[in-house]
């Protein structure tokens, strides 16, 4: 079954907009798991515009499911991972000024760097996932770099879904099949929603995990957190 990891960055962003600790990221994360989420994702950035380093330390001992940390593998990020030892680390190629992730790694061009980072993270017991575009050759390069999983960057699928869902999913199915052949795990994330998640899972039922933040938190404002997580899990067949 595909697991649902809730990205709580937007919860932290809302808290930071006003100061103080409302909403409380730790409390909301606990509620997400209580209401059926399989894990929590955080993506701390250098400017701490949403998730802060202190949030990572606060969440680490209380997340009962899988704790996934996303980020660009800078030295401060790697040091934080080595200190916290999350279950999974997802390596993304974001520059510090990016609003959000908007592309996957060119793993081929960054092979030595990613191989060294992956080896370092595995020594502290973390599963390593590399964020890629839906290109089979990038999955092959991630396997050579030693990654345990890849995460498919699904924004192009989400953007094209309404116009032609079959064409939108085609490169993702092709890449997902190659990932399966390589014996790697498969994650997916970015702009997944109640509108497009069911079709993604139907066409790629062997996805191990989806990480969803923006759409899920926005839906929770209308429907409540418990009902929203129930609906997302229903999209995943639960």
Q: Which residues partner with 71 through β-bridges? A: 91
- Note whether 26 and 62 are within 8 A (CB): yes
Residues in Cβ contact with 146 at an 8 Å cutoff, skipping those fewer than 6 apart? 115, 118, 119, 122, 128
Catalytic residues: 43, 70, 190
């Amino acid at each position: 079954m595909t697991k649902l990891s809730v990205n709580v960055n937007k919860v932290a962003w809302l808290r930071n907009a006003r100061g103080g600790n409302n909403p409380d990221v730790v409390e909301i994360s606990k509620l997400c798991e209580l209401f059926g989420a399989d894990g929590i994702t955080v993506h701390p950035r250098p400017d701490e515009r949403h998730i802060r380093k202190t949030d990572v330390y606060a969440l680490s001992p209380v997340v009962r499911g899988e704790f996934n940390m996303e980020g660009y593998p800078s030295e401060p990020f790697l040091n934080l991972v080595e200190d916290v030892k999350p279950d999974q680390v997802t390596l993304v190629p974001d520059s510090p000024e990016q609003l959000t992730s908007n592309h996957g790694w060119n793993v081929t061009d960054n092979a030595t760097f990613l191989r060294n980072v992956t080896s370092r993270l595995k020594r502290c017991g973390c599963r390593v996932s590399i964020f890629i575009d839906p290109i089979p050759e990038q999955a092959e390069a991630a396997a050579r770099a030693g990654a345990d999983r890849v995460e498919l960057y699904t924004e192009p699928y989400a953007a094209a879904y309404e116009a032609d869902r079959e064409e939108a999913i085609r490169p993702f199915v092709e890449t997902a099949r190659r990932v399966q052949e390589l014996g790697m795990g498969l994650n997916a994330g970015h702009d997944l929603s109640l509108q497009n998640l069911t079709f993604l899972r139907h066409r790629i039922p062997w996805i191990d995990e989806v990480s969803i933040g923006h759409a899920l938190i926005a839906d929770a404002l209308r429907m409540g957190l418990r009902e929203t997580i129930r609906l997302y899990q229903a999209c995943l067949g639960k």
